[in-house]
Structure 1
Amino acid sequence: MQTIIFDVDDTLYDQALSFHRTFQKLIDSDKTYEQLDQIYRKSRKYSEILFDQSEKGEISIKDWQIGRITKAFEDFGIQIDEEEAVRFDQEYKEEQRKISLFPEIKQLLTELKQQGKQLAILTNGEESHQALKIAQLQLDKWIRKDHIFISGTHGIAKPKREIFDIVAAEINSIPEQTVYIGDSFEKDVVGAKQAGWQAIWMNHRNRSIPANSPYKPDEEFHHAKELLDFFQS
């Protein structure tokens, strides 16, 4: 594993916390963590579906960003109008300005850099928004800026093999010696395996592998500490 490449959202930090805080502030402060997490998971599901549509030019970025909220809420009987959805999205982004790395990830990045591993980032999303999160997480302490790749910059998103091939070519990595770490089975594990990379699934949301999938991760972990322990061993 000479080259180690990370996803960002829900891999390096807990993206759900920003959603939970926004929901408690704007919608309902009385729901339990479990109830909030169910709504968050739905929003992520719709986010992936609508993101793909926005990448194809079928809907606007705004439709993707507020649609993931309204559709998730509808599934739980919560009705909000477009203006309220826009406000939720804006507040959600503000909360994401407060994100921080899992402590174990910070330690892992430090140790991998000290070992001379080649490190990189590959994340889906709109360029400026993802760049803000990358800056907030201070990832340039460990990862060169020319080793940070955002799908919105290239107009190609995971799990398409092309974006993985672009990264490999730009940083001169050998697919068989490259490992990708991400939380999405469909975007991260499938995409990496199609590109000939090794794939580690950071499955801390305890999702299941689709029954009909021909792909499997090389490793699966449910907590950042497990990931750290794996590399230390």
Structure 2
Amino acid sequence: MNGFVLPPPKAVFFDVDDTLYDHLIPFREALMHVLGTGDGFPYAPAYHRMRYYSDTLSAQAGGTPTQGRALHEMRTRRFILSLAEFGLELSAAQAAEVQAEYLSRQFDIRLFDGARSLISDLLGRECTVGLITNGPSEHQMKKIAALGLADLIPPELIYISGAVGFTKPDRRLFAHVADKLNFPPEACYYIGDSWRNDVVGALDAGWHVLWFNHRNAQPESEHKPHFRANSYEELRQLLLPSL
């Protein structure tokens, strides 16, 4: 932890993928099922590179595509590029098969330990809690349903890039959320794992940023998150220090 406590938040928003649940699990299972990779394959580094290419290709497209051929090509291309770095040369058909398996396994997921209790306790402190995530609206909503969050977070506090029209790290997505809440940006906190999408995007919008760096990634720019945490226990100690 960073040795300081931030002011009590009025609103806390979470990223979804690899922030609320372990996104590496469906990635590993898809590779094992389709490509026969064994226990010795470097899944975590390969996953990191897949996320890198996902962000890079999305940026080149002007934001995460939400439907059609552009979305399909981005999703398959990221697997071809990332896995090539680890000696796996995939055809377009193989990459599409991996992607399909990866998607199908994203609905068999569960929250990180401590996530649900933190959200519940924030709500108990009359804090507004919501989600900001990139991707197609229907797909992301299925994940959110699979995580069992419908009883805690209402639909009007779930902001998905495919529905809003802005894609992280575009500061306009965060500004849109703050405007909807009628809160100043400095009253809003964002928790996410991605440096480019979450740290950069929210900081540029003037939000407080808690970088959920549970994979020990390295900073990719001069941006400075207000706090770094490796677990939900650390997030709890920062946001709810007296509980």
TM value normalised by structure 1: 0.93
The one-character-per-residue Cα deviations of 1:48-93 (angstroms, maximum 9, x if unpaired) are: 1112233459981111110111111111121121121111111111
Structure 1 residue identity aligned to 2:57: L
Structure 2 residue identity aligned to 1:8: V
- 2:52 is aligned with 1:42: no
Query: Which position in structure 1 is the counterpart of 2:122?
Result: 112
- 2:73 is aligned with 1:66: no
CA contact (8 A) 2:54 2:75 kept: yes
The 1:222/1:173 distance shift into structure 2, 3 A limit, reads same
Structure 2 residue identity aligned to 1:123: T
Query: Which position in structure 2 is the counterpart of 1:31?
Result: 39
Query: Which position in structure 1 is the counterpart of 2:4?
Result: none
Displacement after TM superposition at 1:173 (Å): 2.2
Alpha-carbon distance in structure 1 between the residues aligned to 2:51 and 2:79: 9
Kindly indicate which of the two structures has a greater share of residues assigned to helix: 1
Residue 52 (structure 1) aligned to one of 59, 73, 84: 59
Structure 2 residue identity aligned to 1:5: F
- 2:239 is aligned with 1:231: yes
Query: Which position in structure 2 is the counterpart of 1:3?
Result: 11
Identity of aligned residues (%): 33
The one-character-per-residue Cα deviations of 1:170-218 (angstroms, maximum 9, x if unpaired) are: 22222121111110112111111111110000001111123x51x2011
Q: How does 1:1-233 map to 2 (within 5 A)?
A: 1-32=9-40, 35-55=42-62, 60-210=70-220, 212-213=221-222, 215-233=223-241
SS in structure 1 of the partner of residue 144 of structure 2: helix
CA contact (8 A) 1:185 1:209 kept: yes
The 1:179/1:80 distance shift into structure 2, 3 A limit, reads same
Structure 2 residue identity aligned to 1:84: Q
Alpha-carbon distance in structure 2 between the residues aligned to 1:195 and 1:56: 17
CA contact (8 A) 1:54 1:61 kept: no
Structure 2 residue identity aligned to 1:43: M
Alpha-carbon distance in structure 2 between the residues aligned to 1:70 and 1:14: 22
Aligned residues: 230
CA contact (8 A) 1:127 1:153 kept: yes
TM value normalised by structure 2: 0.89
CA contact (8 A) 1:22 1:91 kept: yes
Alpha-carbon distance in structure 2 between the residues aligned to 1:87 and 1:54: 23
Unaligned 5+ segments in structure 1 are none
Alpha-carbon distance in structure 1 between the residues aligned to 2:11 and 2:24: 28
Displacement after TM superposition at 1:29 (Å): 3.8
SS in structure 2 of the partner of residue 141 of structure 1: coil
Alpha-carbon distance in structure 2 between the residues aligned to 1:11 and 1:55: 24
The one-character-per-residue Cα deviations of 1:76-135 (angstroms, maximum 9, x if unpaired) are: 121121121111111111111101101210110111111111011111112221111111
Unaligned 5+ segments in structure 2 are 1-8
Structure 1 residue identity aligned to 2:150: D
Greater relative contact order (CA < 8 Å, ≥ 6 in sequence): 2
